[in-house]
């Protein structure tokens, strides 16, 4: 018997060898198939499916990811709102060497093309040389590669080819839902909607997860009209996929975000009314909102200066037994700091700690520290910096420089503890060193030192 550790090591070795062959642009032919290091592993059926899946999952990371995105947080959040992409216009800009923004920026077109071609070649090579019967998982991973590489024509042809095979149901509802999710994250909401409508072509029935995914993808690019149409379709009596808690949460969150982007008081008031109206409908139909639903609505109310409604939701949240978390309290802390009610923000911070609803982090302390600096209460700001460091966190460089500079301007350098300052500066330098390993373009931190 082969131990699990030895098996994982051998899998990693084979994955690295295949990726090296792809990088070297070596052809996947019978000569490569006879390689001793590959033949043993691919001819062993218990390992074949997992090995091929790991190879396919590694290709987007090595060939599609831009250098600027290496080391970023793996999250659904974006610094700027997504926009519907036009792949034809992007190809023209790449050909003319003009500026390209968005998810497709900073990609190397040659690396993307190489990764796509070799992924397809590897997919069919394993089938022809080793007699491997592809499963729904490997078919899904190959489809995701084509979607991430934005080669949509080849994607549809590939799905048609897989659906005609008699080796099993390779195209499932889960596969199509994953494709819709990937296309939505790429800013291709119209293409995701096309994949949603093509599910019947591949004999797949959309379920509640498919509807939630496509509605979320449409809301990300502000195609709110189509998202609302699908949502209203789900609410029809007797519909096969009625909305659930996640559907209402997506719509409520989208209403709140859309209201902030309008920059119009009347539009903000209308969108927030619709968000609260959806929340009440959700309660009327017997759905129990979770902490994410409350957080979306509370954050929207705080950012649109509706603090009474936010506090009402907070109290209702506690009564329903849905305990708030750090995200909930951070919304109130940011509001009170923006409106110069810092003491109430500190009170919310202490309340979170006393009730053990979350652990305060840099995101909780930074608004308070900046608000104290803006109103001239620098000594209290420095006390909160010390408290943050004592909790094991390191403030951001900008926050540290702001407090340091204001203490220096007031002539209160005697308050600066060399031990605390040393810990902060060392922590910031270590943070930059860690990031610079994958992002050499980052500059060294600039401290205000005597």
pLDDT band, residue 450 (cuts 50/70/90) = very low
Asked whether the beta carbons of 218 and 189 are under 8 A apart, the reply is yes
- Token duo for residue 335: 């509001």
What b/e string do you get for 271-286 counting C-beta neighbours within 10 Å, with b at 16 or more?
Answer: bbebbbebbeebeeee
What pLDDT, on the 0 to 100 scale, is given for residue 67?
Answer: 58
Angstrom distance (rounded) from CA 378 to CA 167: 70
DSSP, res 396: -
Helix and strand element counts for the chain (H, E): 22, 0
What's the rounded mean pLDDT across residues 29-37?
Answer: 70
Angstrom distance (rounded) from CA 411 to CA 76: 44
What's the rounded mean pLDDT across residues 186-192?
Answer: 92
The three-point CA angle 361-364-370 to 5° equals: 120
Q: For residue 45, is pLDDT > 50?
A: no
Tell me the HSE value of 42 on the side-chain side, using a 13 A CA sphere: 28
For residue range 308-331, what is the model confidence (pLDDT) as tens digits?
999 999 999 999 888 999 999 999
What pLDDT, on the 0 to 100 scale, is given for residue 78?
Answer: 45
What's the rounded mean pLDDT across residues 167-189?
Answer: 90
Which range is least confidently modeled, 18-27, 205-214, 310-319, 361-370? 18-27
For residue range 200-210, what is the model confidence (pLDDT) as tens digits?
889 899 999 99
Question: Measured between alpha carbons, how far apart are the two ends of the chain, in Å?
Answer: 64
Q: For residue 307, is pLDDT > 90?
A: yes
Angstrom distance (rounded) from CA 372 to CA 366: 10
Q: For residue 337, is pLDDT > 90?
A: yes
What's the rounded mean pLDDT across residues 325-345?
Answer: 93
The overall average pLDDT reported for the chain is: 84
Q: Cβ neighbours of residue 410 under 8 Å, at least 6 residues apart?
A: 378
Q: What is the largest CA-CA distance in the chain?
A: 80
- Token duo for residue 203: 């004999």
For residue range 83-113, what is the model confidence (pLDDT) as tens digits?
888 888 888 888 887 877 777 777 888 888 9
For residue range 388-427, what is the model confidence (pLDDT) as tens digits?
998 888 888 889 889 988 888 888 877 777 888 888 888 8
Which range is least confidently modeled, 71-80, 117-126, 280-289? 71-80
Nearest to 146 by CA among 216, 195, 105: 195
pLDDT band, residue 10 (cuts 50/70/90) = low
What pLDDT, on the 0 to 100 scale, is given for residue 166?
Answer: 74
Q: Could you tell me how far CA 171 lies from the centroid of its own chain?
A: 26
Asked whether the beta carbons of 181 and 211 are under 8 A apart, the reply is no
User: Burial level of 193, CB count in 10 A (0-12/13-18/19+)?
Assistant: buried
Helix (H, G, I), strand (E, B) or coil at 303: helix
What pLDDT, on the 0 to 100 scale, is given for residue 409?
Answer: 86
DSSP track, 199-215: TTTTT----HHHHHHHH
What's the rounded mean pLDDT across residues 56-62?
Answer: 88
What pLDDT, on the 0 to 100 scale, is given for residue 127?
Answer: 85
Residue tagged 């810990």 (tokens): 423
- CA distances 85 to 90, 147, 198, 215, 352, Å, are 8, 13, 20, 17, 41
DSSP track, 152-163: HHHHHHHHHHHH
Asked whether the beta carbons of 244 and 209 are under 8 A apart, the reply is no
- Token duo for residue 430: 């270590």
What pLDDT, on the 0 to 100 scale, is given for residue 444?
Answer: 56
What's the rounded mean pLDDT across residues 179-201?
Answer: 92
What pLDDT, on the 0 to 100 scale, is given for residue 2?
Answer: 45
For residue range 233-254, what is the model confidence (pLDDT) as tens digits?
999 988 889 999 999 999 999 9
Query: What are residue 186's phi and psi, to 5 degrees?
Result: -80, -5
């Amino acid at each position: 018997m082969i131990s699990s550790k030895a098996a994982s090591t051998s899998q990693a070795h084979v994955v690295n060898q295949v990726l090296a062959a792809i990088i070297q642009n070596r052809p996947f032919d019978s000569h490569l198939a006879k390689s001793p290091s590959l033949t043993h592993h691919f001819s062993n059926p218990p390992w074949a499916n997992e090995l091929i899946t790991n190879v396919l999952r590694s290709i987007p990371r090595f060939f599609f990811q831009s250098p600027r995105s290496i080391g970023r947080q793996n999250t659904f959040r974006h610094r700027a709102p997504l926009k519907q992409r036009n792949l034809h216009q992007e190809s023209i800009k790449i050909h003319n060497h003009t500026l390209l923004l968005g998810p497709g920026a900073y990609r190397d077109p040659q690396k993307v093309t190489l990764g796509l071609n070799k992924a397809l070649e590897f997919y069919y090579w394993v089938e022809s040389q080793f007699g491997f019967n592809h499963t729904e998982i490997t078919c899904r991973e190959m489809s995701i590669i084509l979607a991430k590489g934005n080669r949509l024509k080849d994607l549809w042809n590939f799905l048609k080819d897989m659906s005609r095979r008699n080796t099993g149901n390779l195209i499932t509802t889960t596969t199509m839902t994953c494709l819709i999710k990937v296309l939505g994250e790429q800013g291709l909401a119209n293409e995701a909607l096309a994949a949603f409508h093509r599910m019947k072509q591949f004999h797949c029935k959309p379920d509640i997860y498919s509807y939630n995914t496509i509605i979320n993808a449409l809301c990300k690019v502000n195609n709110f009209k189509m998202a609302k149409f699908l949502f209203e379709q789900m609410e029809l009596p007797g519909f096969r996929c009625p909305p659930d808690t996640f559907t209402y949460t997506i719509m409520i969150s989208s209403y709140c975000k859309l209201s902030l982007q309008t920059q119009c008081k009347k539009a903000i008031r209308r969108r927030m009314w619709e968000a609260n109206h959806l929340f009440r409908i959700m309660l009327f139909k017997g759905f129990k909102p979770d902490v994410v639903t409350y957080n979306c609505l509370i954050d929207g109310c705080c950012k649109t200066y509706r603090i009474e409604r936010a506090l009402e939701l907070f109290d209702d949240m506690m009564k329903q037994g849905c305990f708030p978390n750090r995200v909930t309290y951070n919304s109130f802390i940011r509001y009170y700091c923006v409106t110069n009610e810092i003491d109430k923000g500190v009170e919310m911070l202490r309340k979170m700690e006393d009730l053990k609803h979350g652990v305060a982090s840099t995101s909780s302390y930074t608004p308070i520290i900046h608000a104290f600096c803006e109103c001239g209460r620098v000594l209290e700001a420095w006390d909160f910096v010390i408290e943050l460091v004592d909790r094991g966190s390191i403030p951001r460089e900008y926050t540290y420089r702001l407090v340091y500079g204001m203490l220096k301007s007031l002539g209160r350098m005697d308050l600066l503890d060399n031990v605390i300052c040393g810990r902060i500066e060392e922590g910031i330098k270590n943070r930059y060193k860690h990031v610079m390993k994958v992002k050499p373009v980052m500059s060294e931190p600039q401290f205000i030192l005597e």
